[in-house]
């Protein structure tokens, strides 16, 4: 038997940690429904402050789960892999 290469294990652990928060799962769920949501739309949908949304999006971005595109003063987010929430659901059943 072999171990996972250390960089791969670290990447997978970061993704698992990023998806281990209910707010971040809600963000992923919203981004699955509609790609290309801006921070302001996510604030309205979740009823949370911009700073809290930005923090959670940063965690998802650093874990490679979302991508970000800047347009003027706003950042727009999309899922890197639209099926990520389905995979999490499969693990939880």
Rounded to an integer, the average pLDDT of 63-89 is: 91
N- to C-terminal Cα separation, the chain: 27
pLDDT in tens, 5-32: 999 999 889 999 999 999 999 999 999 9
pLDDT of residue 31: 96
Position 33 in a domain: yes
Q: How many domains would you assign to the chain?
A: 1
- The model's pTM is 0.89
Position 44 in a domain: yes
Position 1 in a domain: no
Of 22, 91, 17, 89, whose CA–CA distance to 59 is shortest? 17
DSSP 8-state code for residue 78: E
| Torsion angle, alpha carbons of 91, 61, 26, 44, to 10 | -170
Rounded to an integer, the average pLDDT of 34-42 is: 90
Instruction: Please tell me the total number of residues recorded for the chain in this structure.
Output: 93
């Amino acid at each position: 038997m072999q171990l996972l290469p250390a960089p791969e294990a670290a990447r997978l652990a970061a993704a698992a940690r990023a998806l281990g928060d209910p707010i971040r799962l809600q963000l992923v769920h919203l981004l699955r429904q509609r790609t290309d949501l801006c921070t302001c739309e996510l604030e309205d949908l979740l009823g949370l402050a911009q700073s809290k949304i930005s923090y959670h999006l940063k965690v998802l971005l650093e874990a490679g789960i979302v991508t970000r595109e800047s347009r003027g003063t706003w950042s727009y987010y999309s899922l890197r892999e639209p099926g990520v929430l389905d995979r999490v659901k499969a693990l939880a059943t």
